[in-house]
Amino acid sequence: MNSKVANFLILPTLTLSCGILVTILFPNRGKIAVLIGSTTGSLIGTYSLTRQQVNQRLTSEPTTVDSPQERLQFLQQQVYLFQQHLQELAQDLRENQTAVSALSPSETEPEARETMADDQVVINWLINQGITVQNYHIPDENEEIFNKLATYLGDKYSDLSYFYIQLKRSFSKGQNLSVNLASRSKTEITYTTQFCNRMSDYAFLSSYQYDRKNKMLYASPQKKGLVINFITGGWFERFVYLSLCQLLQENDQVYQSILNPQIVLQNGEDFELDILFLVKNKPFWIECKTGDYQNHVMKYSRMRSVLSIPKECSLLVILGIREQLTQELTTLHDIYVANENNFLAIAENLIFGNDEIHHN
């Protein structure tokens, strides 16, 4: 009796177990996973029961031995049943595969696309272009601090530009900083001292003093590489990146992005991008310069062609140049050029102003 109950439970138990197992292993395959798992379980269960039946027939009636012809006929029946199961499974798989192929990627694997990290989506796009990604910026616990400083400096750059030029030179050369603010406006002095206080709080300055009477500012730069890179240009990349993210979010635009990917091009050439967005699965590439842009405009124009990114999807943002010069550089070269004041307007026009901008 117990043996019969156990035999009765074998087939459904294996069918259910295999169905659950395959569903766990392939969570994005839905009904197909259930079908494969349950059918596999059914086949295994049927095979197990058949083996049991064969063994029982061979052992339960020792006094009665089937003839070879009877045993052959019995086995042929079991083979026929297995063949029927396999044919049904193959037919079901073909039908479901056809249905899956007819669906768009967003319908077939929505969970995978939703849970995939933004940077991985962009990396996959680069890989599809034949480009290898060796490294890229991964946010850490200090991200918020750098973002705050970058936003402060970027938002108030018109009042901080005089001080920043000297600050950048100080960090680049590793020299102490001495700035006379006597001729600067009250607003400039306020923002400059506030920014220095913030840098001092975060130990970006190894020493800082402001002489209110003489309006003299004294500071010593921190010599840590991470801080130097931030002050000499990294902040501007962050400011541009954060501003573009805000622009896309305000327009309810889904996007993915990656910062500072170090890549190897199809021809084996090494290169590093500043910022790469995917907007509607189309690239939007941004490079940022805080000075010495003359040596880079031609290089970026050539690289845009190598990357197969349309001119209308590429933007070089140069700190401190005149707006008219941005227009002239855009006309002269195969990349759009902007400054800290007009890059958002230009980016908005390129991304949202023309539905055809992503086509050569």
175 compared with 360, residue with greater pLDDT: 175
Identify the pLDDT of residue 295.
87
Mean pLDDT score of the chain, rounded to an integer? 80
- Asked whether the predicted pLDDT for residue 359 surpasses 50, the reply is no
- Asked whether the predicted pLDDT for residue 185 surpasses 50, the reply is yes
> 332 pLDDT band (50/70/90 cuts)?
very high
> 193 pLDDT band (50/70/90 cuts)?
very high
Give the contacts of 187 (CB within 8 A, at least 6 positions apart).
Answer: 159
> 132 pLDDT band (50/70/90 cuts)?
very high
> 84 pLDDT band (50/70/90 cuts)?
low
Identify the pLDDT of residue 347.
97
Identify the pLDDT of residue 9.
47
Q: What tens digit of pLDDT does each residue of 252-278 get?
A: 999 999 999 999 999 999 999 999 999
Give the contacts of 338 (CB within 8 A, at least 6 positions apart).
Answer: 315, 316, 317, 318, 326, 346, 347
- Asked whether the predicted pLDDT for residue 237 surpasses 90, the reply is yes
26 compared with 320, residue with greater pLDDT: 320
Q: What tens digit of pLDDT does each residue of 99-130 get?
A: 333 333 333 333 333 435 788 999 999 999 99
Give the pLDDT mean for 62-70.
58
> 152 pLDDT band (50/70/90 cuts)?
very high
Identify the pLDDT of residue 282.
94
Q: What tens digit of pLDDT does each residue of 340-355 get?
A: 999 999 999 999 985 4
> 95 pLDDT band (50/70/90 cuts)?
very low
- Asked whether the predicted pLDDT for residue 223 surpasses 60, the reply is yes
Q: Which amino acid is at 339?
A: N
Query: Mean pLDDT lowest for which of 117-121, 216-220, 266-270, 291-295?
Result: 117-121
Q: Is the pTM of this model over 0.85?
A: no
108 compared with 33, residue with greater pLDDT: 33
Round to whole Å and give the CA distance between 311 and 305: 8
Identify the pLDDT of residue 191.
98
Identify the pLDDT of residue 81.
55
Give the pLDDT mean for 201-207.
96
Percent of the chain with pLDDT over 90: 62
